[in-house]
Amino acid sequence: MCTRFIIPLAVLSRLAEDGDIAEDSRVALLSTAASELSWRTLRNAHTRATQAGSVAGALAKVPETPVFDCRQTTSLPGVAVAEPATSDDATARRAFTETAAVVRFYRECFGRNSVDNAGMTLVSSIHYGVKYTNAFWNGSQMAYGDGDGQLFLDFTKANDVIGHELTHGVTQFTAGLNYENEAGALNESVSDVFGSMFRQWQAEQTADKADWLIGKDILGPRALDKGYTCLRDLADPGAGHCLSPQPAHYRDYVPGSDPHDGSGIPNHAFYLAATKHGSASWEAVGTVWYDALTSPKARKNMTFKVFAKLTRQIAAARPSVGSPATAIDEAWAEVGL
The distance from CA 18 to its chain's CA centroid, rounded to whole angstroms, is 26
3-state SS of 278-320 is CCCCCCHHHHHHHHHHCCCCCCCCCCHHHHHHHHHHHHHCCCC
CB contact at 8 A, 216 and 222: no
Quote the CA–CA distance of 329 and 77 in Å, as a whole number: 44
Phi, psi of 139 (to 5 degrees): 105, -20
Give the residue numbers annotated as catalytic, written as ranges: 165, 260
**Cα–chain-centroid distance for residue 180?**
16
Name the nearest CA neighbour of 250 among 288, 303, 298: 303
Distance CA 82, CA 216 (A): 30
Quick check: helix, strand or coil at residue 302?
Answer: coil
Backbone angles phi, psi at 185, to 5 degrees: -65, -40
235 forms beta bridges with none
In angstroms, the CA 99 to CA 62 distance is 12
State the Cα–Cα distance between residues 210 and 208, nearest whole angstrom: 6
Distance CA 251, CA 265 (A): 10
Instruction: Report the distance separating Cα 232 and Cα 244, nearest Å.
Output: 6
φ/ψ region of 215 (left if φ > 0, alpha if ψ in -120 to 50, else beta) reads left
Task: Indicate the burial class of 35 (C-beta count within 10 angstroms; 0-12, 13-18, 19 or more).
Answer: middle
CA–CA distance from 162 to each of 8, 16, 314 (Å)? 16, 24, 28
